[in-house]
Amino acid sequence: MVFAASMTVNRSLFGNKFDAERGDATSSTVRSDSITVSDGVTVIHTSGLSGTISGYAGSVPLDIYIRDGRISEIETLPNAETPSFFQRASGILKEWEGKSPEEASGINVDAVSGATYSSQALINNVKVGLAAYEGGKSENNRSVPVKIWIALVVTLAACVLPLFVKSRIYHSVQMIANVVVLGFWTGQFLDYAMILKYTSDGFTFPAILVAMPMLIAAFIYPLFGYPQHYCTHICPLGSAQQLMGRICGFKIKISVKTLHGLEWFRKILWAALMLLLWGDCLTCWMDLELFQAFQYKSASIGITVAACAFLALSAVVSRPYCRFVCPTGSLFKRAENLG
């Protein structure tokens, strides 16, 4: 089901393009020289620098123009991103124009809500381009960032320890780590947008370090008798709801009939959203999953308010978003049914 969605939405599967026009456009952006100078204008081509940096559907190379010691223009080159999302994301490039390379290297630019992957890739491309201009090594080519190693440790602990440790204290510590490290600090979690990115573009290093154990817990564990392991022990949003549920002893009693209706609502919602993906129609719903609230600097007000509302509700109703809405969780349930 995911492979079919990747092929219809992104026209690719593990980096193999099924849209000849898009594939040719992407491959044509490769340049032999990273920095060229002509008529007093320096042009930084990030095509040969950005390596493992990718947006939602692939690489997003740039040409950065420097004239008289200032960035005069940043040009986006052909790529496989969804045009509507990429147009919104590329608006951030204005933030660097008019600044010297030194000034531009020191500013922090937030990703655009609703086009997070594309805009974050643009930000990273600018960073590596300016680093190359200044004679340094790009961050993308350095060793794995410390925060990725910490996220990996937290993820592996959540994958393995709950199988043997049943302590409530440990479980609380693990959930706090999931929320703080995997949610707010590193933004390492699974949602539809990320899963389709992996199946469309393939895995990149170092993202694969954390993504692979998460995917194994989500899709493989259920086959061996450990259903909902990712949702219960790893997902930062699920962990946040569980923690909220522990602060209030009172719980709303939901009738069996209502629970049955809510379960059918979740199934129908999931089926409808999958049909939209397979039809390549209104795919923007993937950017509306509440996981985006962890990236609070770029999350929209609507996503933030909805996430806070579900967290408040989870104090009196056990994990309401996970149980009655979450499209990503519904996908994982299909693996559970196979088990």
pLDDT digits (tens, 9 = 90+) for 67-79: 988 999 999 888 8
Within 10 Å of residue 67's Cβ, how many Cβ atoms? 13
Q: Which residue has the higher pLDDT, 325 or 135?
A: 325
What pLDDT score was predicted for residue 21? 44
What pLDDT score was predicted for residue 138? 43
Average pLDDT (214-236) is 94
**HSE-CB of 262 using CA atoms within 13 angstroms:** 15
Helix (H) or strand (E) holding 156: helix 146-160
User: Residue 241 burial by CB count (10 A; 0-12/13-18/19+): exposed, middle or buried?
Assistant: buried
- Nearest CA to 175 out of 222, 242, 226 is that of 242
What pLDDT score was predicted for residue 109? 81
Tokens of 141: 């080519």
CA 208 centroid distance within chain: 12
Round the average pLDDT of the chain to a whole number and report it: 84
Count helices and strands in the chain by DSSP H and E runs = 15, 6
- Nearest CA to 246 out of 172, 320, 174, 165 is that of 172
Angstrom distance (rounded) from CA 158 to CA 218: 12
Q: Which residue has the higher pLDDT, 269 or 85?
A: 269
Angstrom distance (rounded) from CA 185 to CA 245: 23
Which residues have CB under 8 Å from 323's CB, separation 6+?
A: 262, 266
What pLDDT score was predicted for residue 131? 84
Least confident of 98-112, 216-230, 235-249: 98-112
Q: Is the pLDDT of residue 2 over 80?
A: yes
Q: Is the pLDDT of residue 335 over 80?
A: no
Within 10 Å of residue 44's Cβ, how many Cβ atoms? 24
- Nearest CA to 86 out of 293, 295, 287 is that of 287
Specify which of 39-53, 99-113, 267-281 reaches the highest per-range mean pLDDT: 267-281
